[in-house]
Amino acid sequence: MKKYLLLFCFLGLVQLAFGSTEREFLAPKDTIIVEFGTSGKIVLVIDNKEDFERLKKMNINQIISELDLQIDENTGELVVVEVSGQKGTREIVKVTEDWNKTEVSVAGIRILVDETSPNTRVKVETGVRKKSDPPFRTYFALDLGLNNYLDNNGQFPKTTQPYAVRGWGSWNVGLNFFASQRISKGFRFDLGMGVQWYNFKFENRDFQAVRGEESIEFIQRNDVAGFKSKISASYLTTMGLFKLDLGRLNDQGRKGLRFALGPYAGYRLGGTSKYVYRPLEGGGRRKEHLNTGIFLNNFRYGIRGEIGFGRVNFFTTYDFNQLFQDGKGPELNPIAFGIIF
């Protein structure tokens, strides 16, 4: 079957090369039908005598045997014709074999032959094009995730600690702009800059983070009914990511896993604590905002990882330095994970 497909592709190229002149043909003048096997048939249309004389001198079997084409044993791919230019190598005819399945790609047309069942199935697809992967591009990305932190033992704080974080509501939001440079096929380097907002919502809403004389303090409010207590901070961040796209690497577009890993560093823009409560004697909810940012680290640095498949991408970050300055608060290293839009 592969030999017949190769023969078909080659004759198609012969027709493109020799079967046209400067004028448009209204109808073929001579037709040659070559039958082989039980149902095999090749139809050649010749418009003039010169082309017919050229065709008579061509030995198809000799040409196929002299090509001495080698099949890649790992991928099963066989490139029959390719054109090299300043922009690289462009494949014209490519044959891929996988057990009882054969795929032939010719000038944007893909022919699939499936012989896994007793009845051979042939499928023809037109308009097949590889998705473009420009050498350089820019894009925006939105991070939406959850924050937490690890103590000096590498564990999440226990719920008995006043600064223990409630997962839902401790939002991590990031707006980033990236410039992406392709290094090689399936491998890119992305340089980005953006703003990240940290929110750490306390599990115990009766504790409020306040600004003490020498450090941040967590006091228990028994005089009011607490509803929400949290610390928030924002950072201007730059990052660099090395990305590996298995889909691009295997010419499958988005049908492959994507991995990214790289460092980041940020400078603090602000930081406050917020406490929402209701007086015990009744009344509406009230809010208190305190400037606790002076005890937060002005710089943050760490590592970021990403994984994706299709149109879905996830991220995670880990700060190598602590959230608070030395001696100004508990020893906590922020960690976050979420989804990228």
Domain that holds residue 9: 2-125
Query: Could you give the maximum distance between any two Cα atoms of the chain, in Å?
Result: 107
Q: Is the pLDDT of residue 94 over 60?
A: yes
Based on the fold, state whether residues 232 and 168 are members of the same structural domain. Answer: yes
| Domain assignment of residue 307, yes or no | yes
Torsions phi, psi of 196, nearest 5? -120, 140
Based on the fold, state whether residues 78 and 144 are members of the same structural domain. Answer: no
Based on the fold, state whether residues 120 and 144 are members of the same structural domain. Answer: no
- Asked if residues 121 and 32 have their Cβ atoms less than 8 Å apart, the reply is no
Which domain-ending residue is among 95, 125, 155? Answer: 125
User: CA–CA separation, 110 vs 122, rounded Å?
Assistant: 11
Beta bridge partners of 300: 266
pLDDT number for residue 162: 95
Token pair, residue 261, equals 């890993």
Based on the fold, state whether residues 180 and 320 are members of the same structural domain. Answer: yes
Q: Is the dihedral of CA 261, 178, 256, 96 positive or negative?
A: negative
Cα 96 to chain centroid distance, Å, stands at 25
Mean pLDDT estimate for the chain? 82
The pLDDT-based confidence of 18 (bands split at 50, 70, 90) is very low
For the stretch 173-199, pLDDT in tens is 999 999 999 999 999 999 999 999 999
Based on the fold, state whether residues 42 and 119 are members of the same structural domain. Answer: yes
The residue length of the chain stands at: 341
For the stretch 127-153, pLDDT in tens is 545 556 789 999 999 999 999 999 999
For the stretch 245-303, pLDDT in tens is 999 888 887 789 999 999 999 999 999 999 999 999 888 999 999 998 999 999 999 99
> In b/e form, how buried is each residue of 177-212, taking b as 16+ CB within 10 angstroms?
ebebebeeebebebebebebbbbbbbbbbbbbbeee
> In b/e form, how buried is each residue of 249-273, taking b as 16+ CB within 10 angstroms?
eeeeeeebebebebebbbebeebbb
Based on the fold, state whether residues 166 and 310 are members of the same structural domain. Answer: yes
| Domain assignment of residue 256, yes or no | yes
How many domains does the chain divide into?
Answer: 2
Based on the fold, state whether residues 81 and 174 are members of the same structural domain. Answer: no
Based on the fold, state whether residues 154 and 64 are members of the same structural domain. Answer: no
For the stretch 198-224, pLDDT in tens is 999 999 999 999 999 999 999 999 999
Q: Is the pLDDT of residue 77 over 60?
A: no
Based on the fold, state whether residues 188 and 268 are members of the same structural domain. Answer: yes
Residues 6+ apart with CB under 8 A from 196: 143, 172, 173, 174, 234, 235, 237, 266
- Asked if residues 216 and 209 have their Cβ atoms less than 8 Å apart, the reply is yes
Based on the fold, state whether residues 46 and 172 are members of the same structural domain. Answer: no
pLDDT number for residue 90: 61
Nearest residue to 196 via CA among 161, 149, 232, 160: 232
pLDDT number for residue 305: 98
Which domain-ending residue is among 125, 156, 173? Answer: 125
The pLDDT-based confidence of 84 (bands split at 50, 70, 90) is low
| Domain assignment of residue 130, yes or no | no
Token pair, residue 308, equals 């994706």
Q: What is the CA radius of gyration of the chain?
A: 33
Based on the fold, state whether residues 145 and 232 are members of the same structural domain. Answer: yes
Based on the fold, state whether residues 203 and 308 are members of the same structural domain. Answer: yes
